[in-house]
Amino acid sequence: MAILKKAKKVVVAPDAPVAPKAINSSAPTDRTHVLRNARITEKATILAGMNVYVFDIATNASKRDVIMAVRDIYKVIPTAVRVVRVVDKIVRSRRTGSLGTKRGGKKAYITLKKGETITI
């Protein structure tokens, strides 16, 4: 009948110091792993003329991580970031005929203000 037993209450002393939780810490962190490389494609080249740059990013990176990484590495503030998942593709070997997969990942479209650029 352990389910019906009352749980013991833990009383914390009122003078015990409580460490505040830092939600948005401004401590410098290494964000170079977030942006993997720039995607150099025909579409990305056309978008670069419209101040939109395309990067491959880490699969566990979020929009906020991408914004902070661009801000730290390139010293520009993006106006918009769109993160897109790249799906895995099934490929066939021409030599053996066996099937395999080409790993997907994530990519980010980073929009900058007019006049700001990123050197790739």
> What is the spatial distance between Cα 30 and Cα 72, in angstroms, rounded to a whole number?
9
Q: Across the chain, where does the E strand assignment appear?
A: 35-38, 52-57, 80-86, 89-92, 99-102, 105-111
At residue 43, what is the residue type? K
3-state helix, strand, coil in the chain (%, to 5): 20, 25, 55
Domain assignments of the chain as residue spans, ordered by start: 32-111
Average pLDDT over every residue of 4-10: 69
Give the pLDDT of residue 22: 47
Please state the pTM of the whole predicted model.
0.71
Name the more confident of 6 and 13. 6
In contact, 53 and 70? CB cutoff 8 Å: no
Radius of gyration of the chain (CA): 23
Sorted by sequence, the CB contacts under 8 Å of residue 104 that are 6+ apart come out as 85, 86, 87, 88, 89
Q: In this predicted model, what pLDDT tens digit does every residue of 30-80 receive, in sequence order?
A: 888 999 999 999 999 999 999 999 999 999 999 999 999 999 999 999 999
Give the pLDDT of residue 13: 63
Residues in the chain: 120
- The distance from CA 24 to its chain's CA centroid, rounded to whole angstroms, is 16
CATH homologous superfamily of 32-111: RRM (RNA recognition motif) domain (3.30.70.330)
Give the pLDDT of residue 20: 54
Statement: residue 16 has pLDDT above 60? no
